Amino acid sequence: MKRETIRNHRDFLTAREDPTVFADCFVAKAKSAKFTDDARFGLVATKKTFRLAVHRNRAKRLLRDWIAFNEGLMLPDMDYIFIARSPILNCNRQDGRAQMSKALKKIAKIKNGK
């Protein structure tokens, strides 16, 4: 099942107690989905971090690839927000996929541990 993307600004907002994981190339945040059958993900690549549009687009493209590869690890009742960090431009595909896998497993562990 392919997830939809978050488009509304209000849906990107997370609470302080929501699970957050810091990886080298990105920050992953999760929050409960409004509707369990409509879990989504959102990507953030800011102008402050990536001055050139080419770099912002590459960061989002890499995140989409890593998300698609690790789709099975995403909890069905959670919305995910991924914030790109500047080292993402130097990260290769295998390392990024491994970081994404590790981050998603950690979020699942945090959620189930509560």
Burial class (CB in 10 A: 0-12, 13-18, 19+), 48: exposed
The 8-class DSSP code of residue 90 comes to G
Instruction: Say what the pLDDT of residue 8 is.
Output: 77
Angle at which helix 53-69 crosses helix 93-113, to 10 degrees, equals: 60
Q: What residues contact 98, with CB distance under 8 A and at least 6 apart?
A: none
Instruction: Say what the pLDDT of residue 59 is.
Output: 97
Containing 83, the helix (H) or strand (E) segment is strand 78-84
Instruction: Say what the pLDDT of residue 38 is.
Output: 73
Mean pLDDT by 10 residues, the chain (114 residues): 74 82 96 80 95 97 95 90 96 96 95 78
Instruction: Say what the pLDDT of residue 114 is.
Output: 59
Indicate the CATH number of 4-108 among 3.30.230.10, 3.40.50.10860, 3.40.50.300, 3.60.15.10.
Answer: 3.30.230.10
Sequence ranges of the domains in the chain? 4-108
pTM: 0.90
